[in-house]
């Protein structure tokens, strides 16, 4: 996903269709000069519907679509003819998209499955024709019902990347390098912070033709939960991951402290993230020998399984994948 093509936030003004009005009409036939009411009902206004699609990976196709209007329903007519329903509008979105009310911030719905359809804003009901108001005491009602208006609202669509494993670490921790080695993904890699500005997805092949999806998420900085750096823009992508793979470089001044800072930022953003399965990978471990690894172990964080890896030297990557698979299918 090129950074210029990855869009994970759009705001759209929507209006569902208004219902058609009911008809006030009476039968006019050659041998029935006082024909009864025969006004038909109005048609329903068009819905605005969200639909999940595995063919979409970002919200790029909606970036410049500021307004989406559904068709109004047609009015009813004589001879009990019901007006046509307004055409529904479908908005295709990638899996992991949530819809929120722009004014209140309230969550409206979320799309997690292919072909899943949710009516975002229903069209207005069509009005009843005068036939519906005929009674024993009122055989010729001269009124009908107008159609109900559609809904006008501004919706925010946000994409939260769906992946089995989310990579969490400070900038330049080696996340992009790991993804490029274990999958066919080709994220931008360079020896400076914030190379990754958008999430990158890769499918990691495992034993016996199995696989899982890994997401390289932009690096965390202290204060990210308060919106510093890329802030909430990337933290929301971590919410949908089944496992969080924390990555700290072996040459970090204090591995335990860096891990705790990362974990704290996630907790500040969403305390539920602390309940997810976690693994710690000490990256760039080709720079240290076995003896130094043993000396480092007492100072590592407690309560989390840890693996020393090197993407460049292909060190312990199979061991890491075994651990991930075990956690995913635990």
Kindly report, residue by residue over 74-127, the tens digit of the pLDDT.
Answer: 999 999 999 999 999 999 999 989 999 999 999 999 999 999 999 999 999 999
At 206, which CATH number? 3.40.50.300
At 69, which CATH number? 2.70.210.12
Of 126, 159, 192, the residue at which a domain comes to its end is 159
Per-residue tokens: 166: 């989310």
CB 297 within 8 A of CB 307: no
Per-residue tokens: 330: 């635990």
pLDDT of 32 reads 64
Q: Is the pLDDT of residue 35 over 80?
A: no
Residues with Cβ within 8 Å of residue 84, at least 6 apart in sequence: 20, 43, 73, 74
Angle at 118 between CA 115 and CA 122, to 5 degrees: 140
Enter the pTM of the model: 0.72
Asked if 138 and 192 sit in the same domain, the reply is no
**Cα–Cα distances in angstroms (integers) from residue 259 to residues 17, 59, 159, 218, in the given order:** 52, 32, 26, 16
Question: Which of 230 and 173 is assigned the larger pLDDT?
Answer: 173
Q: Is the pLDDT of residue 193 over 60?
A: no
Angle at 58 between CA 52 and CA 59, to 5 degrees: 80
Asked if 11 and 35 sit in the same domain, the reply is yes
Its domain, for residue 190, covers: 165-328
Asked if 22 and 107 sit in the same domain, the reply is yes
């Amino acid at each position: 996903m090129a950074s210029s093509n990855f869009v994970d936030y759009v705001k759209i003004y929507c209006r569902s269709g208004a219902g058609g009005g009911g008809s006030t009409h009476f039968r006019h036939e050659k041998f029935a000069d006082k024909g009864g009411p025969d006004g038909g009902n109005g048609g329903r206004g068009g819905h605005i519907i969200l639909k999940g699609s595995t063919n979409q990976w970002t919200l790029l196709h909606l970036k410049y679509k500021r307004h989406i209007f559904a068709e109004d329903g047609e009015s009813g007519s004589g001879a009990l003819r019901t007006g046509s329903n307004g055409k529904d509008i479908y908005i295709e979105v990638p899996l992991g998209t949530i819809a929120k009310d722009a004014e209140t911030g309230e969550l409206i719905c979320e799309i997690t499955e292919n072909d899943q359809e949710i009516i975002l804003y229903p069209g207005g009901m069509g009005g009843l024709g005068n036939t519906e108001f005929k009674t024993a005491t009122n055989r010729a009602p001269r009124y009908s019902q107008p159609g109900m208006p559609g809904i006008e609202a501004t919706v925010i669509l946000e994409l939260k990347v769906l992946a089995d494993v989310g990579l969490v670490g400070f900038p330049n921790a080696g996340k992009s390098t790991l993804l490029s080695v274990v999958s066919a993904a080709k994220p931008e890699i360079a020896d400076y912070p914030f190379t990754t500005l958008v999430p990158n997805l890769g499918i990691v092949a495992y034993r016996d033709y199995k696989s899982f999806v890994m997401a390289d998420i932009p690096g965390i900085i202290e204060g990210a939960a308060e919106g510093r750096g890329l802030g909430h823009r990337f933290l929301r992508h971590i919410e949908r991951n089944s496992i969080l793979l924390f990555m700290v470089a072996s040459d970090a001044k204090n591995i335990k402290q860096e891990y705790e800072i990362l974990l704290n930022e996630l907790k500040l953003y969403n305390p539920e993230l602390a309940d997810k399965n976690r693994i710690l990978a000490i990256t760039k471990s080709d720079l240290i020998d076995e003896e130094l690894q043993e000396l480092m172990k007492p100072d590592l964080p407690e309560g989390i399984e840890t693996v020393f890896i090197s993407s460049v030297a292909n060190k312990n990557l199979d061991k890491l994948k075994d651990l991930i698979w075990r956690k995913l299918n635990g």
